[in-house]
Chains A and B, each alone.
Chain A
Amino acid sequence: METLLEKIALHQDYIYIVVLMIFLGIEVIGRVPSVLHTPLMSGANAIHGVVIIGAIIVMGKADPSNYLALSLGFLAVILGTLNVVGGFVVTDRMLEMFRHKQK
């Protein structure tokens, strides 16, 4: 019990971030019209591509003689970039059509 409380105190920043972000995530898209469900899903999809940062760190830290780490990291960077770039471009393409029509 003591240690659990200690842990909570030690990591309170994280706990605050997680809790607040959960509420924020729900609040932010709470009133989305169904028209935008697809672009919103696609946009959110691109945002979780932020995992690319982890891939870059892994790649950058890899020992140049460790080929396993190098190739895994390289693959991770490619896949992460696909997620980010593909995600944002697809979303933009969907939304472009909306703007087009508003004129």
Chain B
Amino acid sequence: MLLTVIYLLASISFILGLKMLSNPASARKGNLIAAAGMGLAILGTIFLYEESDGTKLGNYGWIFGGLIIGTIIGTLAAKKVKMTAMPEMVSLFNGMGGACAALISITEFNHLAETLHQPHDVQLGEIFPASAAYSAWVGKSIVILAGLIIGSVSFSGSVIAWGKLNGKIHDFAFKGQHLINGLLFLVLLGLAGWIAGVYENANTTVFYVLLILSLIYGVFFVLPIGGADMPVVISLLNSFTGVAAACGGFLYNNKAMLTGGILVGAAGTLLTILMCKAMNRSLLNVLIGSFGGHAADVAATRAQGNYKEITLSDTAILLTYAHKVMIVPGYGLAVAQAQHACHELEKLLTEKGVEVKYAIHPVAGRMPGHMNVLLAEADVDYDQLLEMEAANEQFSTTDVVLVLGANDVVNPAAKTDPASPIYGMPILEVELAKNCIVNKRSMKPGYAGIENELFFQPKTSMLFGDAKKVLEAISTEIKNL
């Protein structure tokens, strides 16, 4: 009885937590509330859960062992991870949840199959009382199989997304991949239907084949999608895991799992669509676009122009005597951990009477909001961050734009070149400003693998080097002026 109340409280805490998480002022509290609800649900399950025949859970040593090991590793990993690697970390944790759901399905299926295939046929009647034996079997196995497939896809997909984000795995696509993916998907459905439809088919070999195919599908699903689109993929896989958790809710008749899972499934799907909208693309386009896969060819055909470099001291002078400077941060800033150096420079310029603003593209970095989190870490004032629309209105009155390790989000090809893979994506229109200084490590194309004609425009000057070192050097130059 008490457990029911606990699960109810947990469900409410999830809803409340999610609600508060979508408001900057209450977000942190929301996270804590959801965490508290989760803790309550976990403890409640351990101590109060009873089977319908009244037996309590056993194996406390194993349960607490697992909880302790998971807590230690999870806390350490989450505390130690660098801000730049946050998206990868989220992806990895998501994969763990998916794997957990798949493991539950494996164990439950083994259990079910064992009971099923005992020699005497009367067993069936015992497992599934009443005349609804067959439909009960179908219901239960559908839930188990759905949890298995969705969980495994989410797991292997998340691992690939993690590998892509930290550069261990590269985009890979082959001819007819979409066709093979489609076929594989149909095979998965068919096999699952075959197992669920006829319980004589329920042997563990077929089940494990299904498991392996699901894992392969997860890999193939994410592999051809370009690295720049990984945030969208992670968000989608996140909602998958939510649905997998909900399957567990059906299986155990557990309302907390059900509400939590469906809630995340729905919210995650909406979040995925919001992210796609920020890039002016449809979800389908992201998933089948093989963005980046063929982009290399496009880049190769683009004419290389001449670019000019600018010295540190010239940059310092240009910035100091400007009225208005707009900083455009990108992934390069995150990689170089240059957010503090950036804030220093900004303070220095503000002291000299220069108006400094940050222009934040919604998908700058590796995840929406990535730059906001990063700059917030460096104490940058909230009011100085401009969202894309606001920034675009101000570029024409800006003297100097300083692009720090951003590339695709300032690529004019998105507006002018229909052949470009990023065509149609809204960009920061930095070319409207009087001067544009681009800091990059080299002339290598950005994450999407496409050349950026901005770099070859007469108003643009290149400033090569690691963002942090360059920013510190500029600050020193300004102080010496």
Chain A residues near B (Cβ < 8 Å): 3, 7, 14, 17-18, 21-26, 28-62, 64, 68-70, 72-102
Contacts and interface: CB of A to CB of B under 8 A. Distances in A.
Contacts of A29: 18-19, 21-22, 267, 270-271
Contacts of B56: 60
Given A34-B278, A38-B367, A38-B370, A44 B107 contact: no
B255 A7 contact: no
Interface of B: 10, 14-15, 17-19, 21-25, 27-28, 30-32, 34-35, 38, 41-42, 45-46, 49, 51, 56-60, 62-63, 65-67, 69-71, 73-75, 77-79, 81, 86-87, 89-90, 92-94, 96-97, 99-101, 103-104, 106-108, 110-111, 135, 234-235, 238-239, 241-242, 244-246, 248-252, 254-268, 270-271, 274-275, 278, 362, 367-370, 372-373, 376-377, 379-382, 385, 387
A102 B382 CA distance: 8
B42 A95 contact: no
Contacts of A24: 15, 263, 266
Contacts of A94: 86, 373
Of A43, A49, A53, A81, most buried by chain B (CB within 10 Å of CB) is: A53
Given A49-B100, A51-B101, A62-B59, 4 more contacts: A37-B271, A40-B22, A53-B256, A60-B59
Contacts of B249: 54
Contacts of B65: 74
Contacts of A97: 373, 376-377
Given A83-B97, A89-B78, A26 B248 contact: no
A51 to B, nearest CB: 4
Contacts of A91: 21, 31
B32 A92 contact: yes
B38 A43 contact: no
Given A25-B267, A78-B69, A83-B100, A56 B63 contact: yes
B252 A53 contact: yes
B12 to A, nearest CB: 11
Given A24-B266, A25-B18, A36-B27, A45 B107 contact: no
A48 B18 CA distance: 11
A26 B59 CA distance: 39
Of B90, B379, B380, most buried by chain A (CB within 10 Å of CB) is: B90
A18 B38 CA distance: 20
15 contacts: A25-B264, A33-B24, A34-B274, A41-B235, A44-B264, A46-B93, A47-B14, A47-B38, A50-B10, A54-B257, A59-B59, A60-B60, A74-B66, A79-B70, A96-B28
A6 to B, nearest CB: 9
Contacts of B362: 34
Nearest to B260: A50
A3 B251 CA distance: 21
A52 B356 CA distance: 47
A96 B234 CA distance: 23
Contacts of B270: 25-26, 29-30
A83 B22 CA distance: 21
A51 B22 contact: no
A47 B34 contact: yes
B285 to A, nearest CB: 19
Contacts of A82: 70, 73-74, 77, 93, 96
Contacts of B108: 58
B97 A54 contact: no
Contacts of A75: 66, 103
B410 to A, nearest CB: 18
Given A36-B21, A43-B30, A97-B373, A53 B45 contact: yes
Nearest to B259: A21
Contacts of B99: 76, 79
A41 B25 CA distance: 17
Nearest to A76: B103
A48 B78 CA distance: 17
A44 B34 CA distance: 10
B245 A72 contact: no
A97 B104 CA distance: 36
Contact of B245 (A23, A37, A48, A57): A48
Of A24, A54, A90, most buried by chain B (CB within 10 Å of CB) is: A54
Nearest to A102: B382
A93 B17 CA distance: 16
Contacts of B18: 25, 28-29, 40, 43-44, 47
